[in-house]
A and B are shown apart, each in its own frame.
Chain A
Amino acid sequence: MTLRRRLAAMILPDRQADRVVPPSGPTAWLTTFTAAAMTFLAVFALALSLASGRLADRWAGALAGTATIRIAAPVDQMAVQTAAVLDILKTTPGIASARAMTDDEQRALLAPWFGPDLPLEALPIPRLVELTEDADGFDSEGLRQRLLAEAPGAVLDDHTRWQRPLAVGASRLNLLGTLSMALIAAIMAAMITLAANASLAANAQVIRVLRLVGAQDDYIAAAFVRRFTLRALMGSAIGAIAGTIGIALLPPVDEAGGFLTGLGFTGFGWLLPLALPPIAAAVALLATRAAAFRKLRELT
């Protein structure tokens, strides 16, 4: 049998094959129900995964900002300490660039409070050094120690760093969402395998007769595969619609504020639950097919 025909036999089984296996017994609803319930859960896992993904991106983006070092020193030591700080930063791993702000820039920063004509030279205004970290980030505690030793007037201000655990947390949450979807798929496969096995066992006699009159395994398996795939597709569609409605009914972000209500889809994301029923159908197809071939070998 060619590959093409094999695929066709798997995916588009003969309608006749449907008829030769009697209409299903009491386990028929189990597959539909499982697919519906699991897809309902999968919609939430998907929303969680997407929302935490967005959150992780946002927080990680904020981290890429700059940190500042404030140097407060007597005017005559200012130049020396600034040079020392820049030297230290040059040899600190994790720092992409560092630069002392010019007088003009500092004046511009202070202008809103003191007006444009501030005599900067005459005042003990701290010098600001702006630094950008690279992707790995730097060890702020280590840097503090070195600054303390070599430029006692320098204070590291890395206020954006408190967000790092949040960004890590968000990407963990993202991972959990993905893992949940994989588990949901696995549970669905297991349940459908059980239901398919029950159905195959209930039809053992039919299967024996079919083998005796010359039916190939592919043909017999197709009758079951078609049935279970359609049931899973239908159940999953119901679950996907219900889950999406559930997400849509969550209060909007601006109303409730905070992190949890960010759970939802944005833009084309609302179309993603549509991908779940075909995935459920594919899971059902593979699970039923595997169960059918195992049972066929066992029975005849």
Chain B
Amino acid sequence: MIAFENVAYNYGGGELLSEVSIRLAPGSFHFLTGPSGAGKTTFLKLAYAELLPTAGHVTVFDRDVRSLTRDDVAMVRRRVGVVHQDVQFLDHLPLAANVALPLTVAGRDGHMQDLTDLLGWVGLGKLADALPASLSGGERQRGALARAIIMGPDVILADEPTGNLDWEMSVRLLTLLVELNKMGKTILIATHDLNLIRQTKSLVAARVLRIRNRRIQLAGADL
């Protein structure tokens, strides 16, 4: 689905990531950990073609991201659901319209039943008409997850999706992601919360990637 081959990246200063070679196989479940500032968000941005690698190759759905036109990138965004670290909604539209936004911009409006089901599934059924500004952190995170999956993407990338949630809410959200993985979706979650990873390991066969010294390596049993 998504493959990194000897990828390096820097924001113009020193190298942030280097020699990164990773393949996200269909149906796999990965965690990406590392201290704050290690480059987790940067890695995800490379994976959904928001950034282009400064060296090496990133391949998304068998296409090198460097060869993608702006329209191609838009198409990639429709097939890769992303839960962003700083969840952003359109503040003038109610939650339901925000969750349906990927459908709207793709000209595929009108699956209202699906939308209602989805909002119910993430526990936001009663908040469909609420404006984003009135939502709590956890509600925003779940809204973002709903928006990320409404197009039925093959891959879901979540950047600290439990960042400002309490433990109970974190586990609930993670359970949703595990369910999605059981439906066959490829999942990658960036988080620095090791407890959460341990909690999840009993539910799903997840692999843990760790950023250390600019490299990404598979973490062993030392978690």
Chain A residues packing against B (C-beta within 8 Å): 1, 14, 16-17, 19-20, 22-23, 205-206, 208-219, 296-297
Contacts and interface: CB of A to CB of B under 8 A. Distances in A.
A14 B107 contact: yes
A211 to B, nearest CB: 7
Interface in B142-181: 147, 151
B214 interface: no
29 contacts: A1-B71, A14-B107, A16-B109, A17-B105, A19-B93, A20-B90, A22-B91, A22-B92, A23-B92, A209-B88, A209-B90, A210-B101, A210-B105, A211-B77, A212-B82, A213-B101, A213-B102, A213-B105, A213-B147, A214-B74, A214-B75, A214-B78, A214-B105, A214-B106, A215-B105, A217-B70, A217-B71, A296-B70, A297-B70
A296 B74 CA distance: 13
A214 B101 CA distance: 9
Given A212-B77, A217-B74, 17 more contacts: A14-B107, A20-B105, A22-B90, A22-B91, A205-B88, A209-B101, A210-B101, A211-B74, A212-B84, A213-B101, A213-B102, A213-B105, A214-B151, A216-B71, A216-B74, A217-B71, A218-B71
B31 interface: no
Contacts of A296: 70
Contacts of A210: 90, 101, 105
Interface of B: 50, 70-71, 74-75, 77-78, 82, 84, 88-93, 97, 101-102, 104-107, 109, 147, 151
Nearest to B74: A216
Contacts of A213: 77, 101-102, 105, 147
Contacts of B50: 212
A212 B73 CA distance: 9
A17 B105 CA distance: 7
Contact of B74 (A23, A209, A215): A215
Contact of B102 (A1, A14, A208, A214): A214
Contacts of B97: 19
A23 B97 CA distance: 16
A20 B71 contact: no
Contacts of B102: 213-214
A214 B105 CA distance: 7
A10 B12 CA distance: 37
Contacts of B82: 212
B77 A214 contact: yes
Contacts of A14: 107
A209 B98 CA distance: 10
A174 B151 CA distance: 60
Contacts of A16: 104, 107, 109
A244 to B, nearest CB: 39
A78 to B, nearest CB: 89
Nearest to B109: A16
A22 B93 CA distance: 8
Q: 3 closest A-B pairs (Cβ-Cβ)?
A: A215-B105, A214-B77, A214-B78
Nearest to B153: A214
B95 to A, nearest CB: 14
A233 B215 CA distance: 57
Contacts of A206: 90
B175 to A, nearest CB: 24
Nearest to A1: B71
Contact of B88 (A23, A208, A217): A208
Contacts of B78: 214
Contacts of B101: 20, 209-210, 213
Contacts of A20: 90, 93, 101, 104-105
B48 to A, nearest CB: 9
Contacts of B106: 214
A1 B90 CA distance: 28
Q: Which of B50, B74, B78, B147 has the most CB of A within 10 A?
A: B74
Given A14-B107, A16-B109, A20-B101, A216 B70 contact: yes
B22 to A, nearest CB: 22
A297 B109 CA distance: 26
Contacts of B93: 19-20
A229 B71 CA distance: 24
B105 A219 contact: yes
A211 B90 CA distance: 12
Nearest to B73: A211
A184 B167 CA distance: 64
A14 B82 CA distance: 25
A259 to B, nearest CB: 57
Contacts of B151: 214
Nearest to B147: A213
A190 to B, nearest CB: 26
Nearest to A210: B105
Nearest to B91: A22
